[in-house]
């Protein structure tokens, strides 16, 4: 299994981010071919309740790195990537891609 993790820093306008993200961006991301599942959350908290450097976290699961790469390089993935500028241009996300080594 392979995951793509997208970590968004706090945006200048959290409500505008949230509205756009849920109504426009997530429907685009949901169309990524080969994606087994996805999840997202707002207001990510640091351990112990401290302030997190992230406002939103997105996670997508694929069978393997090749499937993730194919999804992101295809037209759907290109549309998802291009859309980020519409809601996160001032605070772009960190994107991490990795194979899942184990689970508990």
Is the predicted pLDDT of residue 84 greater than 90, yes or no?
yes
By percentage, how much of the chain surpasses pLDDT 90?
A: 82
In the predicted model, what is the mean pLDDT of residues 70-79? 97
Is the predicted pLDDT of residue 104 greater than 70, yes or no?
no
CATH number for the domain that contains residue 31: 3.30.70.100
Q: Are strands 2-8 and 56-62 parallel, antiparallel or unpaired?
A: antiparallel
Indicate the number of domains in the chain. Answer: 1
Residue 104 included in any domain: no
Domain limits for position 61:
2-99
Quote the pLDDT of residue 9. Answer: 95
Residue 34 included in any domain: yes
Quote the pLDDT of residue 50. Answer: 76
Query: Under a CB-based contact definition with an 8 Å cutoff, are residues 35 and 61 in contact?
Result: yes
pTM: 0.90
Residue 67 included in any domain: yes
Alpha-carbon Rg for the chain, nearest whole angstrom, is: 14
Quote the pLDDT of residue 21. Answer: 98
Beta bridge partners of 99: 2
In the predicted model, what is the mean pLDDT of residues 40-68? 90
Residue 13 included in any domain: yes
């Amino acid at each position: 299994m392979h995951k793509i993790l997208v970590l968004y820093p706090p945006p200048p306008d959290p409500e505008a981010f949230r509205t756009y993200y849920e109504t426009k961006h997530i429907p685009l991301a949901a169309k990524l071919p080969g994606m087994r599942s996805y999840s997202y959350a707002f207001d990510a908290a640091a351990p112990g309740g401290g302030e997190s450097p992230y406002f939103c976290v997105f996670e997508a699961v694929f069978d393997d790195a090749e499937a993730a790469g194919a999804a992101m390089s295809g037209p759907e993935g290109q549309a998802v990537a291009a859309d980020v500028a519409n809601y996160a241009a001032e605070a772009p996300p960190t994107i991490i891609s990795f194979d899942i080594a184990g689970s508990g």
